[in-house]
């Protein structure tokens, strides 16, 4: 499933290209090094159907590159790409062909890896698997948040589309994550995630020397009152670009603390649960996608209730 060629053929896209004075000065499919997409250096033919996006997060304390940490839970995993910024592995989990990619944090870095994957590979689904801070009153350290949607308080996605455009997780991804969390008996919540660029003052946490501005101290209270569950730096980028370019996007994060309730930070707590749920969700998606193809369905639906008498 590669949508880049369809996007490029849209009359409105072609009209924009004609208006852009410098369009012929840039490579149409991005930069390439040694025949591979420059940023990730992936072999596109070896990318799986489902891509898990991780961050080299010191707060989770993986102990090794997170892509390798997760890949070790796959069958027959292999390194399919390594650059100065990103590392990618592909393997199989309960029939699902999964790629795990690790890199730095934030939507700006997510954009770089998503470009390579969406432009060159046939992956259908992109899921953020990471850590986060709690905002909602009911969210405790060690629990998981499945994002049904994301508040776009970061800047990268605004370069693509005005902020009124919703960052809504794909319903099939949300359903699969819920099913997986239930199977794993993990404590989880489903709701809205906040994505920011600034991990400190932008998220309501003091900067160097306790530095804060009046508008910084409103952030946590505003979104706590709005029922937002947690905050991270990547989910908005993944979900928004997946929506824009016709892919499925979603996010599952472990929670390490809670600014609003005062629950203290515990490094890496609950994150193995998040990984296991993400892998199981990919297995559910694989079964779902197989069923859709067999039944020639465009969208998945469970008709159990409609068949009740």
**pLDDT score recorded for residue 243:** 98
Handedness of CA 19, 20, 22, 26 (dihedral sign): negative
**pLDDT score recorded for residue 302:** 79
Domain membership of residue 82 (yes or no) is yes
Confidence of residue 304 (pLDDT cuts 50, 70, 90): low
Domain membership of residue 6 (yes or no) is no
Residue in the block written with tokens 């804060």? 212
pLDDT surpassing 60 at residue 193:
yes
Using one digit for the tens of pLDDT, what is the confidence trace for 71-92? Answer: 999 999 999 999 999 999 999 9
* Domain CATH for 130: 3.40.50.1580
Domain membership of residue 43 (yes or no) is yes
Average pLDDT, the chain: 96
Domain membership of residue 35 (yes or no) is yes
pLDDT surpassing 60 at residue 309:
no
Domain membership of residue 94 (yes or no) is yes
Using one digit for the tens of pLDDT, what is the confidence trace for 113-169? Answer: 999 999 999 999 999 999 999 999 999 999 999 999 999 999 999 999 999 999 999
**pLDDT score recorded for residue 189:** 98
Number of domains in the chain: 1
> How many residues in the chain?
309
**pLDDT score recorded for residue 307:** 55
From residue 98, alpha-carbon distances to 46, 78, 91, 272, 280 in Å are: 10, 11, 6, 17, 11
The verdict on pTM exceeding 0.75 is yes
Q: Which domain holds residue 125?
A: 31-300
Domain membership of residue 2 (yes or no) is no
Domain membership of residue 5 (yes or no) is no
Confidence of residue 305 (pLDDT cuts 50, 70, 90): low
Domain membership of residue 75 (yes or no) is yes
Residue 285 in tokens: 């998606």
Percentage of the residues of the chain whose pLDDT score is greater than 90: 96
Which candidate, 98, 47, 52, places its Cα nearest to that of 75? 98
Using one digit for the tens of pLDDT, what is the confidence trace for 251-289? Answer: 999 999 999 999 999 999 999 999 999 999 999 999 999
């Amino acid at each position: 499933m590669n949508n880049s060629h369809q996007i490029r053929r849209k009359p409105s896209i072609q009209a924009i290209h004609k208006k852009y004075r410098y369009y012929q000065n840039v490579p149409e499919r991005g930069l390439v090094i040694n025949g591979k997409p420059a940023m990730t250096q992936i072999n596109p033919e070896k990318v799986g159907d489902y891509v898990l996006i991780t961050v080299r997060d010191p707060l989770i304390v993986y102990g090794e590159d997170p892509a390798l940490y997760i890949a070790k839970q796959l069958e027959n995993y292999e390194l399919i790409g390594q650059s100065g910024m990103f590392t990618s592995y592909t393997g199989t989990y309960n029939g699902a062909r999964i790629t795990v990619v690790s890199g730095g944090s934030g939507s700006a870095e997510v954009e770089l890896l998503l470009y390579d994957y969406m432009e060159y590979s046939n992956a259908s689904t992109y899921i953020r698997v990471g850590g986060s801070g709690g905002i909602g009153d009911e969210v405790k350290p060690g629990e998981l948040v499945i994002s049904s949607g994301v508040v776009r308080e970061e800047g990268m996605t605004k370069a693509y589309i005005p902020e009124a455009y919703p960052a809504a997780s794909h319903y099939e991804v949300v359903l699969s994550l819920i099913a997986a969390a239930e199977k794993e008996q993990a404590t989880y919540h489903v709701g809205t995630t906040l994505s920011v660029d600034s991990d400190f003052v932008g998220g309501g946490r003091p900067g160097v020397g306790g530095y804060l501005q009046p508008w910084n101290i409103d952030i946590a209270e505003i979104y706590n009152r709005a029922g937002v569950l947690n905050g991270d730096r990547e989910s908005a980028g993944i979900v928004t670009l997946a929506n824009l370019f016709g892919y499925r996007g979603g996010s599952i994060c472990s929670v390490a603390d809670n600014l609003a309730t005062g629950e203290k930070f515990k490094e890496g707590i609950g994150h193995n649960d998040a990984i296991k749920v993400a892998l199981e969700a990919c297995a559910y998606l694989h079964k779902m996608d197989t069923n859709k193809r067999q039944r020639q369905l465009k969208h998945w639906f469970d008709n159990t209730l409609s068949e009740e008498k």
